[in-house]
Structure 1
Amino acid sequence: MKFLKNINKLSGCKAAILTNQSAFGFRGKYHFQTYSEIFDLKTIILPEHGLFAELQDQVSGDELQYLFGGMQIVNLYGKEEKSLIPPRDTLTNVDVVIVDIKDVGSRYYTFLTTAYYILGEISRLKKETGKAPLLLVVDSPNPIGKKVEGTALQKEFESFVGVPSVLHRHGLTPGGLLSYYNETFQFKVDVVVVPVGVIHPKSLSHLEWVPPSPNIPTQNTCLVYPGMCLLEGTNLSEGRGTTKPFETFGAPYLLGKPKEELDKRMLSHQPGTYLLRNLRFLPTFHKYAGSICEGYQLMVLKPKQFHSLYFVLFFLKQLAELFPKDFEYLKGVYEFRSDRPAIELLTGDPILLDYLNGKLSDSDLEIYLKESEKRWVQTIKAFRY
């Protein structure tokens, strides 16, 4: 791995940048504005949600327009899957591709998957022509730290919400994860990391939090997201259309004695690490828009002990048992894929699916998770800095 502690050494280089509003604060500006004073910045590459997180999930950014001194705007989240891959001319006319964008610590989050696709295209360009731009990663803290959760995504479940081999909660910074991709997939791209603390502060304050996307309003959202994102593959509301998405969740059918039994079962799971506050909520958009949902607010009490993924897997298994006529996993297109249900793409592991289907005990799952997490920690040692 290579590090660069003074980006002025690349002053004047022709550059493109993958970024959005989460890269803010260096010299009191959005970073794409600051870098235009250092680099010959030609292109702004947009991830899902747009430059200022204007768009909801799975909404094309093709119609977005910005005026920034004649800079080219390249949208990498359009109406078709092919839009995810950067056009070749975006990479051939620059010396440096800058990646300065916040991650939330979960493999489903698509910003670093977009960077992964950029890495792959730079690698192909290098093999074909012998020339390719440098990838400069301006590193930022992982908002949920180094703790890891989950299991490695299996190749057959690869999608825009899952790069193979990565855990649900990966415990790496953007620089660490992209360096892992570069080495693991043998891209052989010249990747240089600007360490945390040079541009972005070494730690994140909730007072300075900039939502990287519309439904990650706080750092607490990042803490529950490694598990709660699985709800996107179900007919539960994950809280979109409320002020606390992923912390608020439920459905109109969570009623009666089955709901009372569900409450009891959840009390026995990871006791003392979280609190479930019963509530009713009215989503203003997305699932059940305009309908009252019965559900919960998830309040994490002990972040170091709480396991978000296990919490949600356990919760969904109970729902399947207690609400067999109401609860279901969604079918149809999800992040451009229609060949597999969303829950399969998100779990990314047949053993976890076996657990959800009642073929694996809680104790077996706990052992499997611990073994997977231990292996991952060993794998990523060289990429933690």
Structure 2
Amino acid sequence: MKFLKNISKLSGCQAAILTNQSAFGYNGKYHFQTYSEIFDLKTIFLPEHGLFAELQDQVSGDELKYLFGNMQIVNLYGKEESSLVPPKESLQNLDLVIIDIKDVGSRYYTFLTTAYYILDQIAKLKKETGKAPIFLVIDSPNPIGTKVEGSPLLESYQSFVGVKTVLHRHGLTPGGLLTYYNDTFHLNVDVVVVPVGVFHPNRIPSFEWVPPSPNIPTQNTCFVYPGMCLLEGTNLSEGRGTTKPFETFGAPYLFGEAKQELDIRLSNHQKGTFFLRNLRFLPTFHKYVGIICEGYQLMVTKPKKFHSLYFTLYFLKQLGELFPKQFEFLKGVYEFRSDRPAIELLAGDPYLLDYLYGKHSESDLEMYLENQESLWTKAIKPYRY
């Protein structure tokens, strides 16, 4: 992995940046404002949710307007799937493309997929013209650390919510994951990683959390997200429209004797690593808006031992058994894709899907996940530091 500790060599370069409000410093400035004092910053690439995380999931940013001098704004989350890939002309005549945006440690989270699409376009530009900008990653810590969970996403399931080969919880920093992409997919882009403190020595410390998107309000949300994001592919509310999305979840139909049995089954799963608080909640938007839902708040008590993905897979399997007439996996368009249901794009692995339909036991799943996680840990060793 290439590192850079002296920025003076890059001063004055023509640059573009992928960023949002999560890149913010003690000096009261967003990082892109600081870069405009160092580089000739030409373009801001907008990720999903917008520059200030104004928009909810799967909402086009085409209508967003910003005024930052003569900088061009290129929205990379529009109304069509083609909008996800930056136009080649937006990368031409640049010396530098800066990636300065927080990740939450899970492959579903789309910011680093957007960064990967930029990286891939730079690779194509380099192949076609022999010239391409440096891909500069301003690295920041993974908010949920180096622990990994899950299995590799198969290429046939690849989408905006998952790049092939990556686990559900990848255990890497943005610099590590993007360098992994560059090497693994033989993109041959000049990738340089810079620890965030080099550019921003007075950055916000790790205990201060700037929400990178509307439904990741706290760092605790990140610990449950690698599993609970699967609920987006079901008719359960994942807590959007509440103050604790992904930690709060449920549906109007979770009641009666089947709910009591569900409580018992969940209480015996991964004992001592989490606590479930029974509750009722009223989503103010998204699924079941204005309808009271029965459900839970998931409180992780031992983050280093709790396996979010396994918990959610187990939970969904129990719902299929206890609420067979009410529980459903959603159909229709999800993140621009209509050829596969959302649960398939999110799970990304036929083995996990078979488990959800009762074709594998708990012990089988545990062994499978342990093996896949061990292989991934070995594969990413060069990209950890």
Please report the TM-score for the alignment, with normalisation by the length of structure 2. Answer: 0.98
Output the CA distance in 2 between the equivalents of 1:200 and 1:165.
32
Alignment of 1:1-40 (within 5 A): 1-25=1-25, 27-40=27-40
Output the CA distance in 2 between the equivalents of 1:148 and 1:207.
22
> Residue 18 of structure 1: CA displacement?
0.3
Structure 2 SS opposite 1:92: coil
Number of the residue aligned with 2:342? 342
Number of the residue aligned with 1:134? 134
- Report Cα offsets for 1:207-233 as digits up to 9, x if no partner: 410000000000000010000000000
> Residue 203 of structure 1: CA displacement?
10
Structure 2 SS opposite 1:249: strand
Contact 2:276 2:297 in 1 (8 A): yes
The one-letter code matched in structure 1 to 2:6 is: N
Output the CA distance in 2 between the equivalents of 1:199 and 1:361.
50
Output the CA distance in 1 between the equivalents of 2:100 and 2:288.
35
Number of the residue aligned with 1:80? 80
Structure 2 SS opposite 1:89: helix
Number of the residue aligned with 1:181? 181
- Report Cα offsets for 1:72-114 as digits up to 9, x if no partner: 0000000000000101111002110000000000000000000
Please report the TM-score for the alignment, with normalisation by the length of structure 1. Answer: 0.98
Is 1:296 aligned to 2:302, yes or no?
Answer: no
- Relative to structure 2, which stretch is displaced further, 194-203 or 304-313? 194-203
Output the CA distance in 2 between the equivalents of 1:168 and 1:266.
22
Number of the residue aligned with 1:249? 249
- Report Cα offsets for 1:318-344 as digits up to 9, x if no partner: 000000000000000000000000000
Contact 2:143 2:222 in 1 (8 A): yes
> Residue 29 of structure 1: CA displacement?
1.1
> Residue 5 of structure 1: CA displacement?
1.4
> Residue 312 of structure 1: CA displacement?
0.1
Is 1:154 aligned to 2:154, yes or no?
Answer: yes
Going from structure 1 to structure 2, the CA distance change for 1:107 and 1:37 (only over 3 Å counts) comes to: same
- Relative to structure 2, which stretch is displaced further, 100-109 or 198-207? 198-207
Contact 1:138 1:193 in 2 (8 A): yes
Contact 1:223 1:303 in 2 (8 A): yes
Contact 2:235 2:251 in 1 (8 A): yes
Is 1:165 aligned to 2:165, yes or no?
Answer: yes
Contact 1:106 1:168 in 2 (8 A): yes
Task: Provide structure 1 residue ranges, at least 5 long, that are not aligned to the other structure.
Answer: none
Contact 1:138 1:194 in 2 (8 A): yes
Output the CA distance in 1 between the equivalents of 2:248 and 2:348.
24
Instruction: State the Cα RMSD in Å.
Output: 1.3
Task: Provide structure 2 residue ranges, at least 5 long, that are not aligned to the other structure.
Answer: none
Output the CA distance in 2 between the equivalents of 1:354 and 1:248.
26
Contact 1:5 1:194 in 2 (8 A): yes
Output the CA distance in 1 between the equivalents of 2:283 and 2:79.
26
Output the CA distance in 2 between the equivalents of 1:26 and 1:62.
30
Contact 1:26 1:199 in 2 (8 A): no
Is 1:92 aligned to 2:92, yes or no?
Answer: yes
Count of residue pairs brought into register by the alignment:
385
Contact 2:250 2:293 in 1 (8 A): yes
